[in-house]
Structure 1
Amino acid sequence: MIEVSRFWRDPALPFVEARRVGDGRKVCYAAHSHESFSIGVITGGRSTYLTGGTRREVAAGTTVLMNPGVVHTCNPIDGMPWSYLMLFVDLPWLQAQGFVLLEVTWSTSAALYGRLLQVFADLFDGCTAAGASGKEAMLAAFFAALPGYLEAAPARAGTSEHPRLDAAAAFIRAHRLDPLSLEDICAAAGLSRAYLIRAFGKRFGLTPHGYLLDQRVQHARAQLRQGRPIAEVALEAGFADQAHLQRAFKQHLAATPGHYRSGSRN
């Protein structure tokens, strides 16, 4: 039977985790973002990929890239089967390697696809003889080579600066564990309620409430990754109870908190 979902982690490499999904029809996402840099490959079938206001169809052989904080979704097309592999890497570690974030969000480079498949094989199957240090060196070499696999980034249209909206998002991030109201955010950013609701979604792809919920799920994810109790994390992250966290976590990450925390198989 196809393995629906499995997470990979290594305590010796806390800056990285990976996920393998064998049946993407059972793992669907709401719009969400990651605090980490994310890169993955479609390994079977086709799906839709929505990022930065651009929607496209991606198929086996495609690499997708998501910078930290960028709202995106990747879901099946009309119930058709698809599968993928994802790698999530903490930004401080990448920056320590001299890596600069990229504007490219997808690529059909066969060379990149093949290189990433080998990266995942080394992580999941433990075939790197040098252990954790060898895997870290392998990852560093991959990210050093990554820009060379990608085509020149196209100019980004419609991404004008808006400091007040950026301030609203920053305020939400800084207070994501607090009982925030829409009025709190408006006051901090100096924006009217009507304008914030209308413009925030256009800028970030989520409503202010949706953005706050996404931030709380990200916090919960980071704490669960450390093995903390689910109920404790739920309350700390601003959820009413464990069941509330479970619903939001599964909607955003297509996995239950327990499944994510343990890294177990579906």
Structure 2
Amino acid sequence: MTPRQEISAWRPRVAGVVEVLHAHFTEHAYPMHVHDAWTLLIVDDGAVRYDLDRHARGAPRDTVSLLPPQVPHNGSAATPHGFHKRVLYLDMTQLDASYIGPAVDGPDLTEPLLRTRVAQLHTALARRGEEFEAQSRLALISERLRARLRPSPALAGAGPDRGVAQSLRDLLDERLREGIALHEAARLIHAHPAHLVRAFSGAFGIAPHQYLMSRRVDLARRLLLDGQPPGEVASAAGFYDQSHLSRHFKRVVGITPGRYARSGATG
């Protein structure tokens, strides 16, 4: 079978939605990565298997999957002919951080009405001039998601390793573009470099360098959809050069930055 890759991505003029992505893959497998936004996913054909917080999950056609920000996940086709998915990336105004824990525990929601509403929102977002309809549909979807999830209490009894890991994540987020050497991070956090890597990987299920690169790819996606050329995006998102950006971007997203930027030109 010849691998198929079809992607359309754009940023709509609707507050709360940072990106819309429609994709058809037959062989591409997403590596472990994170997003800074909520991932609201429906599958129109085939099925997706993924790991979230070290648990194997699956997204068949009759579910709505909600993957929380900052929690590592991957993804690949669960059927021989691949999958066709539609994704909304929602910012924290739609669901705040208190919903992350419940979403990790139960990311796949089998609710026909919710799935229908998500599909209707995708249709509205693809039509220019239908922003008010999209806003209305998004409000109903966000309300339903909040009702399905109960906010988790603040993390209690977090050990010192968790604190070290959180400190490193905060530092990586703060230095996303310019980066930081591991020895400097260790000096600032007052921990041995090896302990930093072990603590981060143990707490978040992803290595620090994987986290940093996936966050930079996320930033590159936003800049490309804003219309910046790939050469400028590479530098702005913290990559060494355009080829460095392209290598990591294609590994995570499945296509090159240039094709990704062009995919939403008419969206």
TM-score, normalised with respect to structure 1: 0.83
Superposition pairs of residues 96-175 of structure 1, within 5 angstroms:
101-102=99-100, 103-104=102-103, 105-124=107-126, 126=127, 131-148=130-147, 150=148, 160=158, 162-175=162-175
What SS class does the counterpart of residue 30 from structure 1 fall into?
strand
TM-score, normalised with respect to structure 2: 0.83
Quote the Cα distance in structure 2 between the aligned partners of 1:123 and 1:159. 43
Q: CA deviation at 1:4?
A: 2.1
Kept in 2, the 8 Å contact 1:182–1:193? The answer is: yes
Kept in 2, the 8 Å contact 1:9–1:263? The answer is: no
Partner of 2:236: 236
What SS class does the counterpart of residue 252 from structure 1 fall into?
helix
Kept in 1, the 8 Å contact 2:45–2:83? The answer is: yes
Quote the Cα distance in structure 2 between the aligned partners of 1:55 and 1:202. 17
Partner of 1:263: 263
Kept in 2, the 8 Å contact 1:235–1:241? The answer is: yes
> Considering only aligned residues, what root-mean-square deviation do their CA atoms show, in Å?
3.1
Kept in 2, the 8 Å contact 1:37–1:90? The answer is: yes
Distance 1:45 1:154, change over 3 A: farther
Kept in 2, the 8 Å contact 1:39–1:63? The answer is: yes
Quote the Cα distance in structure 1 between the aligned partners of 2:39 and 2:72. 12
Kept in 2, the 8 Å contact 1:37–1:89? The answer is: yes
Kept in 2, the 8 Å contact 1:249–1:257? The answer is: yes
Distance 1:9 1:209, change over 3 A: closer
Q: CA deviation at 1:111?
A: 2.5
Quote the Cα distance in structure 1 between the aligned partners of 2:39 and 2:227. 22
Kept in 2, the 8 Å contact 1:48–1:55? The answer is: yes
Partner of 2:37: 36
Kept in 1, the 8 Å contact 2:47–2:58? The answer is: yes
Please list every run of 5 or more consecutive structure 1 residues that lacks an aligned counterpart in the other structure: none
- Between the aligned residues of both structures, percent identity stands at 24
Distance 1:158 1:86, change over 3 A: farther
What SS class does the counterpart of residue 34 from structure 1 fall into?
coil
What SS class does the counterpart of residue 49 from structure 2 fall into?
strand
Kept in 1, the 8 Å contact 2:164–2:199? The answer is: no
Quote the Cα distance in structure 2 between the aligned partners of 1:145 and 1:158. 28
What SS class does the counterpart of residue 115 from structure 2 fall into?
helix
Q: CA deviation at 1:58?
A: 3.0
Distance 1:25 1:63, change over 3 A: same
Quote the Cα distance in structure 2 between the aligned partners of 1:40 and 1:90. 14
Q: CA deviation at 1:75?
A: 0.9
Quote the Cα distance in structure 2 between the aligned partners of 1:246 and 1:14. 29
Quote the Cα distance in structure 2 between the aligned partners of 1:190 and 1:210. 22
Partner of 2:48: 47
Partner of 2:224: 224
- Deviations along 1:140-175, whole A, 9 cap, x unmatched? 222123234x376899x9994511110011001101
AA paired with 1:47? V
Quote the Cα distance in structure 2 between the aligned partners of 1:231 and 1:65. 33
Quote the Cα distance in structure 1 between the aligned partners of 2:149 and 2:216. 35
AA paired with 1:120? H
Quote the Cα distance in structure 2 between the aligned partners of 1:67 and 1:191. 28
Kept in 1, the 8 Å contact 2:45–2:85? The answer is: yes
Kept in 1, the 8 Å contact 2:99–2:149? The answer is: no
Q: CA deviation at 1:86?
A: 0.5
